Amino acid sequence: MQAIPYRRSNLREAVLDRAAAAIEETGFDGISLRQIARDLGVSHAAPNRYFPDRQTLRTALVRHGLAELGDRLAAATTDPGADFGGRLTAFAAAFVGYAAAHPALTSLVLATTSDDSAEGDELNEIKQRTFGAAIALLDDAHREGIVVGDPDRVAMAILAVIQGLATMVAGGSIGDRPVDTVVTGTVDVLLHGLLPRPEPPAT
């Protein structure tokens, strides 16, 4: 593979970018820092300055994925002309779209749990920022009376469904169904529920 040019000051970012691409090719277990060093045209030892072991690289990849996902989710929910349903659909589409484009990285990110260490606290803060756009969207909807019920329960239910859908897409579990159709159908169920809707009065 041809060496990828980089500036010495951004070697850490270059290694992360290459690792994020490599995980889609080989899975995390197949990532080799030696191969990444060769791809970048640096010495085998160069990445070790930033990633002395695989756990350090894994943690950094999770943070990298969460930051990218957070940027997409924030951008998707900022349309001032969209109503709540439109913004929720855009949020779900951005989340699921990221999972479709980066299935292995998404699976790694969503499978990572926090512990009680300082590192775990930091990861929790990053997750809060990642999903901050969704929480703000739901807060606005509650304030405007669009959504009713306990805000925390509603937020957990919606995020659980959309994250579950993203996990299914990342794992290839939706079959040949079009992703866009699955997203809009899922959001429709979230917005309108599972119970039969009353028939409109006869005119």
pLDDT tens digits, residue range 131-183? 888 889 999 899 999 988 888 898 899 999 999 999 999 899 999 999 999 99
* pLDDT of amino acid 7: 52
Alpha-helix runs per DSSP H in 77-196: 84-101, 103-111, 118-130, 132-143, 151-170, 179-192
In a shared domain, residues 101 and 61: yes
Question: What angle, 0 to 180 degrees and rounded to 10, lies between the N-to-C axes of helices 179-192 and 84-101?
Answer: 140
- Looking at the chain, the whole-number percentage of residues with pLDDT higher than 90 is 60
If pLDDT is split at 50, 70 and 90, which confidence band does 118 have?
Answer: low
Report for 44-48, 108-112, 121-125: range of highest mean pLDDT: 44-48
CA angle 113-114-117, nearest 5°? 150
CA 91 to chain centre: 11
CATH number of domain containing 19: 1.10.10.60
Is residue 202 situated within a structural domain? no
Position 3 scores a pLDDT of: 45
How far is 35 from 44, CA to CA, in rounded Å?
8
Q: How far apart are CA 149 and CA 147, in angstroms?
A: 7
d(CA 156, CA 159): 5
Does any domain span residue 199? no
Give me the pLDDT at residue 21, please: 94
pLDDT given for residue 119 in this prediction: 67
Full residue range of the structural domain in which residue 34 is found: 1-52
Asked if residue 103 and residue 40 are part of one domain, the reply reads no
pLDDT of residue 127: 86
By CB atoms closer than 10 A (0-12, 13-18, 19+), residue 168 is middle
- pLDDT score, position 2: 42
Asked whether the predicted pLDDT for residue 130 surpasses 50, the reply is yes
What's residue 128's pLDDT?
86
**From its phi and psi, is residue 41 left (phi > 0), alpha (psi between -120 and 50) or beta?**
left
Is there a single domain that holds both residue 156 and residue 79?
yes
In a domain, 113, yes or no: yes
Please tell me the predicted confidence (pLDDT) of residue 9.
61
Q: How many CB atoms lie within 10 A of CB 49?
A: 10
Task: Give the model's pLDDT for residue 43.
Answer: 92
Residue with the bigger pLDDT between 146 and 115: it is 146
State residue 64's pLDDT score: 92
Tell me the mean pLDDT in the region 183-194. 90
**What domain count does the chain have?**
2
Give the model confidence (pLDDT) of 55-77 as tens digits.
899 999 999 999 999 999 999 99
Nearest to 101 by CA among 175, 184, 179: 179
Judgement on whether residues 126 and 143 belong to the same structural domain of the protein: yes
Regarding pTM above 0.85, the answer is: no
The backbone torsions φ and ψ at residue 198, rounded to the nearest 5 degrees and listed phi first, read -65, 145
